[in-house]
Chain A
Amino acid sequence: MDAIILQILNGLDKGSAYALIALGLTLIFGTLGVVNFAHGALFMIGAFCAVTLNKILTLSHTVIDPTKTDFLGNPAKIQVPYVYDIFGESAGASIIDWSVPLAIFFAIPVMIAIGFIMERGLIKHFYKRPHADQILVTFGLAIVLQEVIKYYYGANPIPTPAPAAFKGSFDFGAMLGFDPNVIIYPYWRLVYFCFAALIIGAVFAFLQFTTFGMVVRAGMADRETVGLLGIDIDKRFTIMFGLAAAVAGLAGVMYGPINAPNYHMGMDFLVLSFVVVVVGGMGSLPGAVAAGFLLGILESFASMREVIAFIPGINQVIIYLVAIIILLTRPRGLMGRKGVMED
């Protein structure tokens, strides 16, 4: 029992990332009908927003500290971040410590801007083109974005630590009445899961309970009729693209402390997220979220020691295997709508 709970918990954080990226992919697909291969790159750019903010905050200048001396007896030179000068030393230190959560506020405008530019500058021209062309042009864009990030930030992963308050783990098993030290779960992963759940909830609430969301849903169901009613649906869909980019970016920002951001993390997640979208059912938002968590948890179950001893290497192929089986037995995915991408 405790082993099962542990695996479910382990699957949740990866599942959250899959679900968030898949949610954005499905939003773009459902509204604009575009298959966006550059979505993984948006996730990666989000993660690098956190890296950038951290770099900006730690920009520092050299001051001479008269109270300390180095080994030659001269006054020691120390690096003082500008943030210390502005907010004072203790507040400045905690701002730097909290740079990852703060990056959320930095990433939202950046990602929405990138989403707008992408949609207006490139993807707009591809609505009437075949899906193969959309896949190819966004694939090319993903390569370019990835390599530009690699050029500026280097090929090595850049550690972005979580705030000190969330470092370490807590004994989840003891809270539920199991033996202590059986289910240990890092705080930040729990934060990530809650954050993901919050965003997913917010997106669904936005679509469900606002007039704007209602119009977008109507547009997803029948774009032409909404247009005939005199609503500028293209403009709203562009906003949805920006929103989807922001969702992917936020997923990336908060993922930094779990896995240090590197330039190819987007491509790594992209393939799996596509599998998630297809398993969930192309065009179905709940399907994408459910499949994201499901596959994340499945992957973590497959990497249990007992399972690997039974079938070695299964943890690496399980997602693809499940995707192939689902696509062949339930061609529309778990919750796919009829008539989406069927020609």
Chain B
Amino acid sequence: MFGLNKQDTTLLIVVAILALFAPFILNPFPEGSAMAQFNAGYPDLMQRFVIFGIFAIGFNILFGLTGYLSFGHAAFLGVGSYAAIWMMKLLTMNVIPAIIISVIVAGLISFLVGWISLRRSGIYFSILTLAFAMMMYQLAYSDLFGQLFGGVLTGGETGLQPKVSDPRILDAALAEGATPKAHLFGLEMGASHKMNVGAWSFTFNAGYYIAAAAMLAAFYLSIRIFRSPFGMMLRSVKSNQHRLNYTGLNPKPYTLAAFVISGMYAGLAGGLLVAMDTQVGAERMFWTASGEVVIMTILGGAGTLIGPVLGSGLLKYMENILSKINKSVLESWFSFMPDGLSDFFIAITNLFVGKQWHITTGVIFMLVIIFVPGGLVELGKRIGARFSRKKEPNNTDGSAKAEPAE
């Protein structure tokens, strides 16, 4: 189906079903129960799951296939966001032009950056992309171009958001005091439908489903790239670039294409972020944001199809859920223990939750790099292999014993 083999089609369908029923799957605990705080089925978080999924899928096309470790991809996400918000300020609050322009602008900028950075490889490539991204962050944060030409381009520290007074040439003028809301042909991104089933409450959000549709399209495209001759070419860059050169092939156009594609994915993610939450600031371009997408991709499994989606979901889930667990929650958890013991456990676990959730992600990330460099996907495979291996020797033993008897 869709030019995919059976295995890939199954994968795509599984992801589609997960995305479609995410409001149910992520809300397993009834409303008002003690575990309700671990529900992740609210629109804001679900949107971020899929949007950062797109970002990581795109990053994986570059890092997973070619092995070029870029430390500056958040810059393209930021550029896409700024482009989208300008579309919303100048043209219309409809998200379609905003998303299209964010992809195009991010593609152009990543072409420029990639064209220069890809002249070097290895650590130099990482530093070059890092330098470019930090430069772009500083330009956005100080609004250099805006200052140069006496206007506003990035809004500096305050960032940008659509205002009532903006000249949206395609839209009807808004009433004074109304807030401009992003919409898709009239369907507002914030529109949600609540469904109550018994004690459970599920929220279906328009913005989430639009972002999820974009994620599925992005995922499908990445499967096609992985399975194409072009994807094969990128893998050969990773395994041995010298040999590729000796065969008379120039890998640069391929790596540059991969760089631009992943930049466009980042732009799409940036545009969607603006579509869901109509504001943008420079902090999403900071290099730690680039580091975050690296973590997501590795956590899930670089070079695998499903890995980046899993990784971004896991990281965003941990970010939101762990940061909610504070000391009083811990006290209620450990209240069954004797006083001294519970204090001890609270002190230990408190280091990993609440505001300190970064420690947990850092530790998990390190453990993954040290023990399972292939991420969650490899972990799953290893566990699967262990179980199937346990069965196989039993079978062969059985048959080996049976043979002499015959």
Report which A residues bind B (CB closer than 8 A).
Answer: 35, 122, 125, 129, 131-133, 135-137, 139-141, 143-144, 146-148, 150-151, 267, 271, 274-275, 278, 282, 312-313, 316-317, 320-321, 323-324, 327-328, 331, 341, 343
Pick the most buried of B148, B287, B359: most chain A CB atoms within 10 A of its CB.
B359
Q: Are A324 and B123 in contact (CB under 8 A)?
A: no
Partner of B287, one of A271, A317, A321: A271
Q: How far is the CA of A150 from the CA of B365 in the complex (A)?
A: 19
**CB closest residue in chain A, given B288:** A267
Q: How far is the CA of A122 from the CA of B365 in the complex (A)?
A: 14
Q: How far is the CA of A321 from the CA of B139 in the complex (A)?
A: 12
Residue interface bits B346-369, CB-to-A below 8 A is 1, else 0: 000001000110110111011001
Q: How far is the CA of A199 from the CA of B135 in the complex (A)?
A: 31
Q: Are A327 and B139 in contact (CB under 8 A)?
A: no
Q: Are A147 and B131 in contact (CB under 8 A)?
A: no
A137-B366, A151-B359 known; A317+B135 contact, CB < 8 A: yes
Partner of A324, one of B132, B291, B355, B369: B132
Partner of A275, one of B127, B147, B351, B361: B127
Q: How large is the interface on B (under 10, 10 to 19, 20 to 34, 35 or more residues)?
A: 35 or more
13 chain-A/chain-B pairs, Cβ below 8 angstroms: A129-B373, A135-B69, A140-B363, A141-B362, A278-B124, A313-B138, A313-B142, A317-B138, A317-B144, A323-B131, A324-B131, A327-B128, A331-B120
Min CB distance A282 to B, Å, is: 7
Residue interface bits B31-75, CB-to-A below 8 A is 1, else 0: 000000000000000000000000000000000000101000000
**CB closest residue in chain A, given B291:** A139
Q: Are B123 and A271 in contact (CB under 8 A)?
A: no
The residues of A that contact B294 with a CB separation of less than 8 Å are 136, 139
* B199 at interface by CB-CB < 8 Å: no
* B130 at interface by CB-CB < 8 Å: yes
A147-B356, A271-B287 known; A328+B119 contact, CB < 8 A: yes
Pick the most buried of A35, A131, A147, A341: most chain B CB atoms within 10 A of its CB.
A147
Give chain B interface residues in 65-88, CB to chain A under 8 Å: 67, 69
Q: How far is the CA of A137 from the CA of B367 in the complex (A)?
A: 9
Q: List 4 tightest A-B contacts by C-beta distance, closest first.
A: A143-B362, A313-B144, A144-B362, A140-B366
Q: Are B359 and A271 in contact (CB under 8 A)?
A: no
* B370 at interface by CB-CB < 8 Å: yes
**CB closest residue in chain B, given A141:** B366
Min CB distance A27 to B, Å, is: 16
Q: Are B363 and A144 in contact (CB under 8 A)?
A: yes
Q: How far is the CA of A316 from the CA of B143 in the complex (A)?
A: 11
Q: Are A313 and B359 in contact (CB under 8 A)?
A: no
Partner of B132, one of A133, A150, A320: A320
Q: Are A324 and B359 in contact (CB under 8 A)?
A: no
**CB closest residue in chain A, given B119:** A328
The residues of B that contact A151 with a CB separation of less than 8 Å are 351, 355-356, 359
* B122 at interface by CB-CB < 8 Å: yes
**CB closest residue in chain B, given A323:** B131
The residues of B that contact A131 with a CB separation of less than 8 Å are 122-123
The residues of B that contact A136 with a CB separation of less than 8 Å are 69, 294, 298, 365, 369
Q: Are A341 and B127 in contact (CB under 8 A)?
A: no
Pick the most buried of A129, A133, A143, A341: most chain B CB atoms within 10 A of its CB.
A143
* B116 at interface by CB-CB < 8 Å: yes
Q: Are B370 and A125 in contact (CB under 8 A)?
A: yes
The residues of B that contact A320 with a CB separation of less than 8 Å are 131-132, 134-135, 138
Partner of A143, one of B123, B135, B148, B361: B361
* B126 at interface by CB-CB < 8 Å: yes
Q: Are B366 and A144 in contact (CB under 8 A)?
A: yes
**CB closest residue in chain B, given A35:** B123
Q: Are B362 and A316 in contact (CB under 8 A)?
A: no
Give the A-B contact count at a CB cut-off of 8 A. Answer: 112
Q: Are A341 and B124 in contact (CB under 8 A)?
A: yes
Q: How far is the CA of A140 from the CA of B147 in the complex (A)?
A: 37
**CB closest residue in chain A, given B298:** A136
The residues of A that contact B134 with a CB separation of less than 8 Å are 271, 320
Q: How far is the CA of A316 from the CA of B363 in the complex (A)?
A: 32
Q: Could you list 14 further interchain pairs (A-B, Cβ under 8 angstroms) beyond the known A122-B370, A328-B119, A341-B122? A: A131-B123, A133-B369, A135-B126, A136-B365, A137-B369, A143-B291, A143-B362, A147-B358, A267-B288, A313-B139, A316-B138, A317-B138, A320-B135, A343-B121
**CB closest residue in chain B, given A282:** B123
Q: Are B122 and A324 in contact (CB under 8 A)?
A: no
The residues of A that contact B139 with a CB separation of less than 8 Å are 313, 317
Min CB distance A266 to B, Å, is: 12
The residues of A that contact B141 with a CB separation of less than 8 Å are 316
Q: How far is the CA of A321 from the CA of B361 in the complex (A)?
A: 33
Partner of A327, one of B120, B138, B359: B120
Min CB distance B223 to A, Å, is: 24
Q: Are A275 and B142 in contact (CB under 8 A)?
A: no
Min CB distance B132 to A, Å, is: 7
Q: How far is the CA of A136 from the CA of B373 in the complex (A)?
A: 10
Give chain B interface residues in 235-279, CB to chain A under 8 Å: 242
Q: Are B373 and A324 in contact (CB under 8 A)?
A: no
Min CB distance B142 to A, Å, is: 4
Q: Are B362 and A147 in contact (CB under 8 A)?
A: yes
The residues of A that contact B119 with a CB separation of less than 8 Å are 328
A141-B362, A147-B358, A324-B128 known; A132+B142 contact, CB < 8 A: no
Q: Are B144 and A312 in contact (CB under 8 A)?
A: yes
Min CB distance A278 to B, Å, is: 5
Min CB distance B115 to A, Å, is: 11
Q: Are B128 and A147 in contact (CB under 8 A)?
A: no
**CB closest residue in chain A, given B131:** A320
Min CB distance A92 to B, Å, is: 33
The residues of B that contact A271 with a CB separation of less than 8 Å are 130, 134, 287
Q: Are B362 and A341 in contact (CB under 8 A)?
A: no
Q: Are A321 and B122 in contact (CB under 8 A)?
A: no
Q: How far is the CA of A317 from the CA of B67 in the complex (A)?
A: 28
The residues of A that contact B122 with a CB separation of less than 8 Å are 131, 341, 343
The residues of B that contact A133 with a CB separation of less than 8 Å are 369, 373
